[in-house]
């Protein structure tokens, strides 16, 4: 395997980790706001707060690794994406700052302030929406290079059906992933009210998730036929994703093996995500930028691979300990912290 393939594969693993962990975090914020405004705090907010307390600080580590690594491995991405993502990137940073301030002031009444909760809940939906624009732009047709300047065709981006469907899929996926995990988490906490509420949300968002996934395929066939044909050639990725989706929803509907159902959800998005990434290669930006034409020097590339794999080796055991000590700890989950 070449340096380019190893580099992009490691970065894609970090981005997938962010997809799953951040989705749980972002969706939980929205459900916390929903519970507050509908007077269902007793159902779900305690369960959500117990999950968010130990997890929120590590969520963005994956995203930082990805963007730093992307610029490190493929320096030309800064030139092409820097100007184009100035607006959506700035929006995402502002929203991340809002979430950070909410956590910082949570113990000073922010959790009970409706305005703070509104900003917190909505930011959890708008952040993935803004970040998903990167994937849309990468399919080509929205960036024009004239001489030394790179211009984003914002008008075309705003009227593109593919762009809006990707944004909607990002939002719905966050709500589905988060609800499926919180269903399992509420069950472990033996909070039946919270369990029933989150199970209902999981089933509600399952339909839009699979529908929008299909529409992404449909609109991509006209927006980028080359990538669409590549996805058809590797269709087993997406068939496997569909099978795991059906298995997860079936288990949640039957109220059985809820931990396994969330693992199936993770596999569902994993196969779809890595299938999408693999068929997108070698392009980082259609048809301008490839992993082979923009890779850094061989020595720097090897050094970055070693550094990022080492970071991944350290990060995974840290997450395991975090989940073992808090998230999957029976006493902590039920609110009995005297034994942890």
Beta strands (DSSP E) in 27-98 are none
Mean per-residue pLDDT of the chain: 82
Q: What is the pLDDT of residue 79?
A: 79
Average pLDDT over residues 202-220: 94
Residue 218 to residues 3, 123, 223, Cα–Cα distance (Å): 33, 29, 9
Contact between 269 and 241 (Cβ < 8 Å): yes
Average pLDDT over residues 58-62: 74
Whole-prediction pTM value? Answer: 0.88
Per-residue pLDDT tens digits for 118-157: 777 788 888 888 888 888 988 988 888 777 777 788 888 8
Which range among 39-48, 54-63, 84-93, 193-202 shows the weakest confidence by mean pLDDT? 39-48
Average pLDDT over residues 58-82: 79
Segment of 103-112, 176-185, 188-197, 302-311 carrying the highest mean pLDDT: 176-185
Q: What is the pLDDT of residue 239?
A: 95
Nearby residues of 219 by Cβ (< 8 Å), 6 or more positions away: 161, 162, 165
For residue 103, pLDDT over 70 is answered with: no
Residue 298 to residues 18, 293, 304, 307, Cα–Cα distance (Å): 27, 13, 10, 14
What does the alpha-carbon distance between residue 339 and residue 160 come to, in Å, rounded to a whole number? 54
């Amino acid at each position: 395997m070449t340096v380019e393939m190893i580099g992009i594969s490691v970065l894609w693993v970090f981005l997938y980790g962010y997809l799953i962990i951040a989705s749980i975090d972002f969706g939980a914020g929205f459900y916390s706001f929903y519970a507050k405004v509908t007077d269902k705090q007793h159902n779900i907010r305690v369960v959500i707060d117990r999950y968010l307390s130990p997890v929120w600080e590590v969520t963005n580590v994956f995203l930082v690794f990805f963007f730093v690594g992307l610029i490190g491995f493929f320096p030309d991405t800064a030139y092409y994406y820097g100007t184009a993502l100035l607006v959506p990137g700035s929006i995402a940073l502002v929203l991340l700052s809002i979430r950070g301030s909410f956590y910082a002031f949570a113990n000073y009444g922010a959790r009970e302030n409706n305005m703070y909760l509104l900003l917190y809940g909505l930011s959890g939906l708008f952040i993935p929406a803004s970040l998903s624009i990167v994937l849309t732009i990468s399919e080509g047709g929205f960036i024009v290079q004239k001489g030394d300047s790179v211009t984003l065709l914002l008008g075309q981006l705003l009227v593109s059906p593919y762009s809006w469907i990707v944004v909607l899929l990002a939002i719905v996926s966050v709500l589905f992933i988060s609800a499926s995990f919180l269903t399992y988490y509420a069950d472990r906490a033996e909070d039946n009210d919270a369990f029933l509420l989150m199970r209902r949300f999981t089933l509600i968002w399952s339909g839009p998730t699979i529908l929008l996934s299909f529409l992404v395929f449909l609109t991509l066939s006209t927006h980028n036929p080359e990538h669409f044909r590549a996805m058809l050639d590797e269709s087993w990725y997406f068939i496997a994703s569909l099978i795991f989706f059906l298995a997860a929803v079936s288990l949640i509907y039957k109220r059985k093996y809820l931990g396994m159902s969330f693992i199936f959800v993770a596999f569902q998005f994993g196969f779809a995500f890595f299938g999408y990434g693999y068929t997108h290669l070698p392009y980082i930006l259609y048809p301008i930028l490839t992993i082979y034409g923009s890779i850094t020097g061989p020595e720097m590339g090897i050094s970055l691979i070693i550094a990022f794999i080492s970071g991944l080796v350290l990060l995974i055991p840290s997450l395991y300990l975090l989940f073992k000590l808090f998230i999957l700890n029976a006493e902590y989950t039920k609110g009995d912290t005297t034994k942890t």
